[in-house]
Amino acid sequence: MAVPTFVDRVRLHVVAGRGGNGVASVHREKFKPLGGPDGGNGGPGGSIILRVDPDVTTLIDYHHQARRVAPHGGHGAGAHRNGGHGEDLVLPVPDGTVVTDEDGEVLADLVGPGTEMTIAEGGRGGLGNAALASAKRKAPGFALLGEPGEELVIHLELKVVADIGLVGFPSAGKSSLIAALSRARPKIADYPFTTLVPNLGVVKAGDTTFTVADVPGLIEGASEGRGLGHDFLRHVERCAALVHVVDLATLEPGRNPAEDLDVIERELERYGGLADRPRLVALNKIDVPDGRDMADIVRAEVAERGWPVFDVSAASHEGLRQLSFAMAEVVAARRAAEPREESTRIVIRPRSTSAAVEFTVKETGEGWRVRGEKPERWIRQTDFSNDEAVGFLADRLERLGVEKRLVELGANEGDPVLIGQPDNAVVFDFRPGIDAGAQMLGRRGEDQRFSESRVARQRRRAIDALMEGRAEGEERADVARRYDQEHGLAHLDFDDEHDGQDGDDRDDWQ
């Protein structure tokens, strides 16, 4: 099977690097067995970046290797050591590459050397327990996992960036013209469809330097898939002007130069989007016998269209100077009309997102489905083998308002709640933490609804209430002993020395 040398359309699967996991670690040294949390954070994964490289002219590298994966971030370690960053993967693409997703939506139009865009963002690194510590959570026994990097399938399509596009029938002499006008050396032969890929040449006329490209294989029906024009017509979309190369020495019966011009114009019209481009006409091969006579016959008919006409010969170079200066004049006028750009431009159409709504809750046949950037990201970060990490996740969801929203929509205790992508969701049994309008508070990873009542706190509050009606000369200790005897707590030895002090919230007993 023949190996292609020019590829202008590929399907590429890109996977950004995963973020490294945070670590749960406690500082230990001699005489300091519990020195506090010192777990480091995981490093972010590498992103995948598309960058325009002027030395790249084809997408053939991605034709042979259609899957690209960026490096992962390093895991955190103890002693506050963070994981290393995953290195970004830069993919060079030709100038004029259009990036689309699977649905055909244009994500970027990369024009200009150095233009780049991040097509897949690397995953965030997970926080270590040192970063999760707070005044209320002094020694977390868990850390967050790193997030997976973005993964998507994109389509790269090359549209050659050229100032002048040469169009015409096969063997009209387009490649010969480029070879005569510039230093480009395309393949030239005396049979149709010699050129199978667009050729580019750089031409200088006076103070103007511009590029010229030819579109191979244009015949009648090219816009519908005949010949090669269906594949390569898009390469003239960016051209400032089109030059019709008319063959004055065709040997095919039933063809004449004027009709060739009409056929090509119909194909351009059917393709669409090129009606505003200026046209020039090059009557090629005037050096052959009867070539000049044919040019005299055709020139008057072509001139009626209002297009400049030039008699040229790619073989003898006759008329090429006049043609090149005419093309330079059109290019200079086009450049003067366009706003001058100070820096390389990049056109990006980001994915549509709704920043105002942090999450949505919808009832489905499987249960209550919760979707949103934050809930789904928190799910990916949670180590479900750690009860404390699961409790931390529950607190985050409750603060975000997920639990309240489920109650408002009529979710009952025990209903399944699904968070995440439909094909990879995490399922919970709904256990509301809101009871009579009061939030249940407790340590991370624990649910006080399933714990025994806190006896010492209830006792202290009851004693505070009895102190208002105490007898004369009765001290707090006397009121406490009376309360214990009445409620059967006399067998317990409470620490009454600190009981009742402001701010004391201990509920331990000896």
Position 253 scores a pLDDT of: 61
| Residues 6+ away with beta carbon under 8 Å from 274 | 236, 237, 242, 268
Position 493 scores a pLDDT of: 59
Residue 143, pLDDT above cutoff 90: yes
Position 445 scores a pLDDT of: 45
- The CATH number that domain 164-337 falls under is 3.40.50.300
Give residue-wise pLDDT tens across range 32-80: 777 789 999 999 999 999 999 988 878 888 988 999 999 999 999 999 9
CA distances from 8 to 47, 95, 201 (A): 24, 11, 18
Residue 84, pLDDT above cutoff 70: yes
Mean pLDDT of 442-464: 60
Position 508 scores a pLDDT of: 37
CA distances from 14 to 67, 86, 114, 352, 469 (A): 6, 15, 20, 20, 76
Looking only at Cα atoms, what is the longest distance across the chain? 136
Residue 454, pLDDT above cutoff 60: no
Q: Which residues are annotated as a binding site?
A: 168-175, 193-197, 214-217, 284-287, 313-315
Question: Is the Cβ–Cβ distance between 403 and 413 less than 8 Å?
Answer: no
Higher pLDDT, 5 or 416: 416
Give residue-wise pLDDT tens across range 127-142: 999 999 988 888 899 9
pLDDT band at 251 (very low <50, low <70, confident <90, very high): low
pLDDT band at 122 (very low <50, low <70, confident <90, very high): very high
Give residue-wise pLDDT tens across range 307-345: 888 998 888 888 899 999 999 998 888 888 876 655 555
The pair of three-digit structure tokens given for residue 152, joined into one six-digit string: 């998507």
CATH topology (fold) of 360-450: GMP Synthetase; Chain A, domain 3 (3.30.300)
Position 180 scores a pLDDT of: 86
Residue 504, pLDDT above cutoff 80: no
Position 382 scores a pLDDT of: 92
Give the pTM: 0.65
CA distances from 134 to 36, 137, 139, 140 (A): 12, 5, 8, 9
CA distances from 153 to 91, 135, 143 (A): 15, 45, 32
Other CB atoms within 10 A of residue 270 CB: 12
Mean pLDDT of 180-187: 70
Helix (H, G, I), strand (E, B), or coil: what is residue 246?
A: strand
Write the secondary structure of 278-337 as one string of H (helix), E (strand) and C (coil): CEEEEEECCCCCCHHHHHHHHHHHHHCCCCCEEECCCCCCCCHHHHHHHHHHHHHHHHHH
Query: Which of 250-254, 278-282, 463-467 is most confident?
Result: 278-282
- Sheet harboring 67-69: ordered strands across? 67-69, 9-15, 151-158, 97-101, 106-110, 346-348
Helix (H, G, I), strand (E, B), or coil: what is residue 247?
A: strand
Position 236 scores a pLDDT of: 77
Q: Please state the φ and ψ torsions of residue 421, each to the nearest 5 degrees.
A: -60, 145
The pair of three-digit structure tokens given for residue 408, joined into one six-digit string: 């408002």
The H-assigned helical ranges of 188-253 are 229-232
> What sign does the dihedral 480-485-487-491 (CA atoms) show?
positive
Annotate 31-82 with DSSP letters as a single string.
Answer: TBS---B-PPPPPPPPPEEEEE-TT----HHHHH--EEEPPPPPPPBTTTBP
Domain ranges of the chain: 8-158, 164-337, 360-450
Instruction: Identify the architecture of domain 8-158 in CATH.
Output: Distorted Sandwich (2.70)
Q: Which residues are annotated as a binding site for GTP?
A: 168-175, 193-197, 214-217, 284-287, 313-315
CA distances from 448 to 390, 433, 435, 457 (A): 15, 10, 12, 14
Q: Which residues are annotated as a binding site for Mg(2+)?
A: 175, 195
Position 291 scores a pLDDT of: 79
The pair of three-digit structure tokens given for residue 207, joined into one six-digit string: 């103070």
Give residue-wise pLDDT tens across range 382-414: 998 888 898 899 888 988 989 889 988 988 888
Higher pLDDT, 434 or 26: 26
Position 50 scores a pLDDT of: 94
Residue 17, pLDDT above cutoff 90: yes
Which of 57-61, 271-275, 480-484 has the weakest average pLDDT? 271-275
pLDDT band at 423 (very low <50, low <70, confident <90, very high): confident
Residue 499, pLDDT above cutoff 60: no
Gyration radius of the chain over CA positions: 38
Q: Which of 191, 173, 157 is nearest to 59 (CA)?
A: 157
Position 341 scores a pLDDT of: 55
pLDDT band at 451 (very low <50, low <70, confident <90, very high): very low
